[in-house]
A = this chain, B = another copy of it.
Amino acid sequence: MARTKTTYDVFSAIGEPKRRALIEKLIVEEMSVNELVNAMQWRQPMVSKHLAVLKDVGIVTERRLGRSRIYQVRPEKLRPIQEWIHQFEKYWGGAMDQLDAYLEDIQRKGDRNDKQ
């Protein structure tokens, strides 16, 4: 069997960093594909394809306006992630403070670059 489809659920869909970037952009204001292409500096088919995945799992919806399609985030669709993560929240807090978390994040980014 192969790996889980990106459209299997919200968790799979946001696994791709570019799709998280799209969500972060669209949460501020709804945008057309072309506006996203300019904002992200990606090729148009790439934007459309990532949007298609997000649309499939319901994270974004689309509205037609002339030739354009305006995409907007449905934030409530991200709620299962919040609910899932919630059960772990009680475990951090004492063990590690904000600064430590930040430093570990930096560390991790370095590791990832080394590994590629």
Q: A42 at interface (Cβ–Cβ under 8 A)?
A: no
The interface centre, meaning the residue of A79, A81, A84, A108 with most chain B CB atoms within 10 A of its CB, is A79
Interface of A, helix, strand, loop or mixed by DSSP: helix
Q: A79-B101, A96-B76 are in contact. Are A84 and B9 (CB under 8 A)?
A: no
Q: A11-B15, A14-B11, A95-B76 are in contact. Are A87 and B20 (CB under 8 A)?
A: no
Taking CB atoms, residues of chain B closer than 8 Å to A14 are 11, 15
**Residues of A in contact with B (beta carbons under 8 Å apart):** 3-4, 6-9, 11-12, 14-17, 20, 24, 27, 58, 73, 75-76, 78-82, 84-85, 87-89, 91-92, 95-96, 101, 104-105, 108, 112, 115
